Structure 1
């Protein structure tokens, strides 16, 4: 059975054919064992034990087994990825019978994650364009990149959706099957010879699952790709699209051979497959002990199946195939045709992609701008047209504190957007596309214009409504402090969200941090009277403290206020004989002066850099 969509692959075969050059006959593995420490017994425990196998050019291998059988772990080991944190891994991996390095292997392999690593606000063509920019070396010119993109769009039957958005929660885009095809196509942009698919049909109905695997199968057959896919429980027609099955249960092999031989093999063992039953369902139920009523009997049956396989002629055949390849192997040279992208240009590519995402995706900055505008209107109307008489001095101080503190507090709204970007980075880093430096540079740069726009719009409303110092330089200095405030606050969000990449926890941690900064920034308690611990441990690294100082100096350092009608002045200054208060007298009560503004700006830059470096360190050390 062949779908109309799959037939399109045949028509576009010539378009895709020129994309593959390196010759890989086979990919084999021997004695793969992954050992971890059991959490309860603290004893070594094998989650994979002695797994052998081989897949040849043009074949599709299905990794199947019950949940917890080791499918994803095996797929990660085969793909030269970290299997499990703190695990001990024994492995022998061969290309054309000879061992190869990680760097060489990445040149000819690609890995498609279980969840689509796609940006919803990009079109199909843009998605493939940026995949090409991030993964293809610079010596591959623009025309060839376009040719590869067009060939893949045609090969996967996506011509009609080339200009369609992938789709976001508030903007409808592609169907689930189409998204999965785009995910696979984006990994084929480098013309790999080995393709790893982690649950490619997860979340898809049987028709969409068949559609996705059909496209992959046709591409594999025509261009000699080796495809290894972990798959949970495919339909009968999807299962038959695969050439080979490696069945796992509790970390051991239960079957490893042709799909066509599954029924005969288990029939000979005495496990008759019902005529109209899905073979995939049958074998999974056969080796699944999780839901058995009689656990002892189920475990005994599984051990019998695993023991029978290890002693079978089929198992010996697999080992002979591997040994045959290794004994006749010659060193496989991986050409540099797939190479690596220009590292210098990677941040610019990421910035370009993020710019498109940010101005199309209203969630990233549109909603945040609306939130800040609401806060600005509220603040401007609460502190509406404050006069310059002395009873309003405290109101001005309160407004300065509120404006700086709550602007930074509302930076928590950036957490969801950053976590989404981080998740994409994790997947692309695992595929070797770029590292934490390029990601952090792009993340920082793309936010600057939006944060400046937010600061400017907020100030246009608030500054004049509240009647702060009425001068152009006063206004722009206020904008500068708000901008530095937001940049530092967003840097704090990046650090904490990298450290605890769970929305609720990151939200709580950021809110707590901002609450701490509000408490010690010098408004609640003047810096010179602040408890020694809080002052020297937290006050001087509090970015809100320097924003508060800067804004106070901007307002009170260059303005005078009227005493009451009886010429009683709340603050006694050199202008008392004129029934006025020099604003510098207000600053003196906080021990602020007008001569250190440049230092305050420098401290803000250092604090922001510190958060960014900490964020970089966290994502450098954490790969998940």
Structure 2
């Protein structure tokens, strides 16, 4: 059978032979400490359920009912739940380890964590490279990708950018479908969806759920989705419903039995009303004027379910699945070779950095504008004593403001971080691979920025006119930018809130400018600021190194009085020649020559420290 025949038949995606027949859970309870009541409180209490291959289950309930918490427990993503969790989860009626479960299940977040600069097809391509075993050939990967594009109606958008705030791309509904498709690339057996229709209109919501239903039916996939308030048409696409309120079950069973159940309960459903809307209104007591009476009614509904024959049917189904435990092994597959993951991430990040205007190219324009401004403000400074301070000012400005403008990288890193959190939760890779790829990808772009900026500003300003002086300037400025971006990454790893990251980064840069030795020479700096912050200030060492680079081998003409006598602002050994040795300028700042290697090592150490703490922040934080 050739590739097109495989694509047409769908046999390549091996879900048709899946050994997962059912997924059940019993007595799921999550207990947290209520800070107001000062006692343990169940946010989920004794939840049972089962879904069979090819079925879709809707988790519904008012806000705060426990939908997302239950979804995370079922998906074995309990590291974020700040409480005590009790559950019994079954695959084909038997327990499985968390490691095995991660290999057969995939979780789609509520928010679409996609890389805006990639095309639809590239998104699936990199998802395949990061999750499929190395034994799967490139040709086989492409067949699988084409199958998913066709199944989710994305063939016409295959070469369209995903898009974001700056670059327009595919629609919101198409992004949702792409998010789901990227998780299906590994042919999982169970798919968890957190609010798959969030932010979509009713038409787009129906479209997304309909595509998922087709995949579930065709490949016997188990789908569990939390969903807020679907339209009637969307609601009827689901096979089963688990309705929660205040952490307890209100209904759990087939969607087709909903109306009959509530009719028997004495809560008849109006003929022309959306069933989902009716049920949510029935079990939501947050906005009732008589909250006590509403709570009593809700407890009555919850008790009615617990005592109903329908509840026993669910328990019987779980017990029946347990009694008929499948003797076959649940087939799982390992991911790609560990050493290949960083290369894949580097490739993906490089494509993004090359295409995404926000990542580097807007910054290139900003830095070029800054270089022209700097070069023309400090235009062709002559080497005489009246321009010594101007040279010093220009060195400070070039280093400090190049560093400060690295804040423009925050939005791009936050996008990468969001994608990393999602892919890490699905077990694709960890913070080490992510940080290594980020560091390597940034090097050529930061070096390009440095060279372009220096080629303009250095020669226009007439700094030390030697090749060695220019190369050392480029080296210091490159390390300055690398340190600034490393600081941005550290802060942005600690918080994913743009305004907070921006404020902290701006404050840190202001601090480094203040204690860097320019505004107040280090020999005069307050002892506290000098020893508490100055030594860890990369801008200090960049300024110090660039100052030594400019003044160590250069001389400056002194002025002359009206009578022809020489008048030098700095007294050095060259006063008899009516010149100033640049080393005399360095002496006023307390800087020595011959220590350039030390400066460079300290800057590199600071960069490594920022990256290490950024890695630690990502390692400890999982959201």
TM-score normalized by the length of structure 2: 0.96
The aligned residue for residue 215 of structure 1 is 211
* Equivalence for 2:554: 559
Contiguous gaps of at least 5 residues in structure 1: 1-9
Instruction: Answer yes or no: is 1:32 the counterpart of 2:32.
Output: no
Query: Post-superposition shift, 1:605?
Result: 0.6
Q: Does 1:187 align with 2:183?
A: yes
Contact 2:472-2:549 within 8 A present in 1 as well: yes
Q: How many residues align?
A: 614
The CA deviation string for residues 446-502 of structure 1, in whole angstroms up to 9 with x for no partner, is 111111111111111111111111111111111111100000011011111111221
C-alpha separation in 1, matches of 2:552 and 2:61: 72
The residue that corresponds to 1:278 in the other structure is 274
1:344 to 2:343 alignment: no
Counterparts of 1:507 and 1:157, CA distance in 2: 39
**Alpha-carbon distance between aligned partners in 1 of 2:242 and 2:520, rounded to the nearest angstrom:** 68
> SS of the residue aligned with 2:569?
coil
Asked if residue 386 in structure 1 is aligned to residue 381 in structure 2, the reply is: yes
Aligned pairs for 1:157-172 (under 5 A) are: 157-172=153-168
Cα distance in 2 for partners of 1:153, 1:12 equals 12
Give 1:495's aligned residue.
Answer: 490
Give 1:297 deviation, angstroms.
2.1
Structure 2: where are the runs of 5+ without partners? 1-5
Report deviation, 1:358: 1.2
Q: For 1:149-548, list aligned pairs within 5 A.
A: 149-330=145-326, 333-336=329-332, 338-548=333-543
Q: Could you tell me whether the CA contact under 8 Å between 1:495 and 1:612 is conserved in 2?
A: yes
Shift of 1:50: 0.5
What is the alpha-carbon distance in structure 2 between the residues aligned to residue 44 and residue 12 of structure 1? 55
Deviation at 1:207, TM superposition (A): 1.4
Alignment equivalent of 1:109, drawn from 105, 112, 119? 105
Going from structure 1 to structure 2, the CA distance change for 1:380 and 1:484 (only over 3 Å counts) comes to: same
TM-score of the aligned structures, taking structure 1 as reference length: 0.96
Give the secondary structure class of the aligned counterpart of 2:352. Answer: helix
Task: Sort the Cα spacing of 1:219 and 1:138 in 2 relative to 1 into closer, same or farther, 3 A.
Answer: same
Cα distance in 1 for partners of 2:544, 2:214 equals 66
Q: CA deviation at 1:20?
A: 5.0
2:126 maps to which residue? 130
Q: Distance in 2 between matches of 1:331 and 1:601?
A: 63
SS of 2:517's equivalent in the other structure is: coil
Rounded Cα–Cα distance in structure 1 between residues aligned with 2:501 and 2:365: 22
Q: Which residue of 1 aligns with 2:3?
A: none
- The whole-number CA distance in structure 1 between the counterparts of 2:181 and 2:64 is 29
Q: Which secondary structure state, in structure 1, belongs to the residue aligned with residue 31 of structure 2? A: strand
* C-alpha RMSD of matched pairs (Å): 1.5
Instruction: Give the distance between the partners of 1:446 and 1:11, measured in 2 at CA.
Output: 35
Whole-Å separation in 2 of the counterparts to 1:12 and 1:282 = 42
| CA distance in structure 2 between the aligned counterparts of 1:520 and 1:11, rounded to whole angstroms | 64
Distance 1:544 1:18 in 2: 56
- Secondary structure of residue in 2 paired with 1:335: coil
Q: Are 1:572 and 2:561 an aligned pair?
A: no
Alpha-carbon displacement from aligned partner over 1:221-241 (angstroms, at most 9, x marks no partner):
121110001111111111111
Quote the Cα distance in structure 2 between the aligned partners of 1:310 and 1:298. Answer: 19
The alpha-carbon distance between structure 1 residues 16 and 72, as it changes in their structure 2 partners (threshold 3 A), is farther
Q: How many Å separate the matches in 1 of 2:189 and 2:426?
A: 15
Specify the SS of the correspondent of 2:523.
Answer: helix
Other structure's SS at 1:257 match? strand
**1:338-359, CA deviations, whole angstroms, 9 ceiling, x for partnerless residues?**
2122221111111111111111
TM-aligned CA distance change 1:145 to 1:79, over 3 Å: same
Of 89, 94, 97, which residue of structure 2 is paired with 1:98? 94
Say whether the 8 Å CA contact 1:61–1:228 is kept in structure 2. Answer: yes
TM-superposed CA distance for 1:331, in Å, is: 5.6
Distance 1:152 1:11 in 2: 9
Q: 1:402 to 1:11 in 2, by over 3 A?
A: closer
1-side partners of 2:440 and 2:328: how far apart? 42
Q: Which residue of 2 aligns with 1:608?
A: 607
Secondary structure, in 3 states, of the residue corresponding to 2:186? coil
After TM superposition, give the deviation of residue 113 of structure 1 in Å: 0.9
1:284 is paired with a residue of what secondary structure? helix
Task: Tell me whether 163-172 or 109-118 shows the greater mean CA deviation.
Answer: 163-172
CA distance in 1, matches of 2:184, 2:489: 32
Aligned to 1:3: none
Offset at residue 73 of structure 1 (A) = 0.6
How far apart are residue 135 of structure 1 and its match? 0.7
Q: SS in structure 2 opposite 1:245? A: strand
Q: Distance in 1 between matches of 2:518 and 2:573?
A: 25
How far apart, CA to CA, are the structure 1 residues paired with 2:405 and 2:35?
40
1:19 Cα shift? 5.3
Q: 1:411 to 1:358 in 2, by over 3 A?
A: same
Tell me if 1:146 matches 2:142.
yes
